[in-house]
Amino acid sequence: MAIEHTFSILKPDATRRNLTGAINALIEKAGLRIIAQKRVRFTREQAETFYAVHKARPFFGELVDTMISGPVVVQVLEGEDAIKKYRDVLGATDPAKADPGTIRKEFAVSLGENSAHGSDAPETAAVEIAQWFSGNEIVG
């Protein structure tokens, strides 16, 4: 397996409850390296662009509202098989179905407020990273 980069967001429900350090500890414990990180606030337009793939879904409006409800921490994670590894660390989208020890099982409030995002494929990881980081902000 190759060294990959993936894009992560610690969502507003996580920053609100002061959980960024606790979540980063799980990320690092899994062997992923945080090689870029900044705290930002998504505009409505940025959230709509980021989640454009879900535009037709009934929860889209709620999803965008949730993502702009507070600051987020955007990150680039590096590691062996990083995309799948981080999805495993996140756990299932619905925290009620997530395995013990995963970020979503330990920290999520609900399906809509599930604490963190991780890219689902190399193509989406590249697009999402480029949306939020310039090359000189990523220090591997």
In terms of CB distance, is 36 or 117 closer to ligand DAT? 117
Q: Which x/- pattern over 47-86 shows residues binding ligand DAT (rule: CB under 6 A)?
A: -------x----x--xx-----------------------
Q: Is 85 annotated as a binding residue?
A: no
Sheet holding 72-80, edge to edge: 33-40, 72-80, 3-10, 116-118
**CA distances for 81 relative to 5, 118, 121, angstroms:** 8, 13, 11
Q: Does 111 bind ligand DAT (CB under 6 A)?
A: yes
Nearer to ligand DAT, 99 or 137 (CB): 99
Of 48, 67, 82, 117, the active-site residue reads 117
Pairwise CA distance, residues 105 & 114, whole Å: 9
Binding-site residues for ATP, please?
11, 59, 87, 93, 104, 114
Contacts with ligand DAT, residue ranges (CB under 6 A) = 54, 59, 62-63, 93, 111-112, 114, 117, 120
